[in-house]
Structure 1
Amino acid sequence: MIIREANIEDIPQIQIVRNAVKENTLSDPNLVTNQDCEEFLTIRGKGWVCEIDHLIVGFSIVDLKENNIWALFLHPDFENKGIGRKLHNVMLDWYFSKTSETVWLGTSPKTRAEIFYRKSGWQEKGMHGKEIKFEMTSDNWKNKMKQNIKSIRPFIGSKNFEESRAFYRDLGFEEMVLENNFSVFKKQEIAFYLQDYYAKEWIENTMIFVEVENIDEFYTELALLNLPTKYASSKLSPIRTMDWGKECFLHDPAGILWHFGEFFNKD
């Protein structure tokens, strides 16, 4: 699964998703034209899509001109997977990086969308035609994002950006494309940012330690991926036992050293 910025070429698939939804449907599909989509993506604001196996399954678009969420839709076959939340968050993060103006949206009452927006911190502000009008202020969004610390996300580099992207996807991380040369990779509670930037001394001195529950089982899973076979510069080293626990090592294609370890003392 990849979350990335939408472009004009995505519009045909965006229209398919828009017309597949079961809530907030269009009375006439021709009401939203390809030209409308292009204007909102390139002139009025910005959009994002979720892509799975080269298929767009959801999208979000925000309008900076009218301070409005123009669209946030997900194909019914891909609901309840957290995709809508990711499209929502990346959109609002971008919006409030560009303006502090309150943003609003309208959605039909008694729908899952209404529940979603209420849970996301949107405040009801009356009606907009037949829809409920919700608003989100810059302060409310920032305060909602001020949660307890859950993770540390290091920034790492790459010698061959496309090769490193493929390596980490094969390693089991989920990629979210933030820019053409910048992605975040996530797996459970672990996340890091991958950059298209290489400085030999920095890369070769970058090390990341990840604690796992069972290093023996984890190493077996790593070995089955055959990463050193697929990526010539990658190297998987056997488990070694230390006073504190056990660990194995994995070099990525650029030379970054990952430590995967299990502590003897779990306290």
Structure 2
Amino acid sequence: MYRGKAKHILGDIAEGDRVKVINGGKVYNGILMPRSELGDSRHVVIKLANGYNIGFNIDNIKIELISVREKEDKEKKVEEESSPENKPCVSILGTGGTIASKIDYMSGAVHPAFSTSEIVNAVPELEDIASLNTEIVFNILSENMTPEHWRIIAKEVVKAMNKSSGVVVAHGTDTLAYTASAIAFMLSDIPKPVVFVGSQRSSDRPSSDASLNLISAVRVALSDIAEVVSVMHAGSSDEGCAIHRATKVRKMHSSRRDAFKSIDSLPIGEVIGDKITTFQEYSR
């Protein structure tokens, strides 16, 4: 939600509209992205064609409308989402962390401020893959995660499995491997995928890995991999994501996008585009 000077500069331009931003003699075309209610009032964010988000200080730009986003019939949308004849359902549980954070463009600090639904709004490609149920379990930094939080997550995952084809858990990366492993031991022999996902860089940063990680996680949640896994960048580029068994994965670097590695084992597989390739046996 834009406010203050940013809202004034945008005028009738709405979130989701295609816009042209002129900044320092360069032209950027993209989709105007939503801002958190906690976001400052002096920046706008657009999603470029390559999938990256980029933020602009409104004092330095000229912004023009290219095309208006097509409005959807809300009643039709609700009916489609509830119809079993349409896309399968994936539950996304938010617990906090960088994937559920925003950057303060004034200070450069990152704050846990995005709700899970805001993340989905920031990655509209998700709606082409699945019907989504989103829920905030809690919103904490992962270094504050405790065994009591693990028990709560396990209970919420079980509830979510009962109403969806698979479950995605958005989690901070610092302790993601610990939580995923704990949940794997607590929920053995599960019938559906439970996919932990995080990001090394916040969702509204141009170099964020959140979008690809989340899209890949939802695809894995619709697969036949009936295990607890984590899905994170496989390399430093945006080529694809690796699928790591929860009890084998470890974070190996503080900031690299491909920081997560399977230890003494190959990953279960990888996600490149809409294709999942597996490298070893897994529970089905």
More helix, by proportion: 1
More strand, by proportion: 1
Larger radius of gyration: 1
The TM-score normalised by the length of structure 1 is 0.32
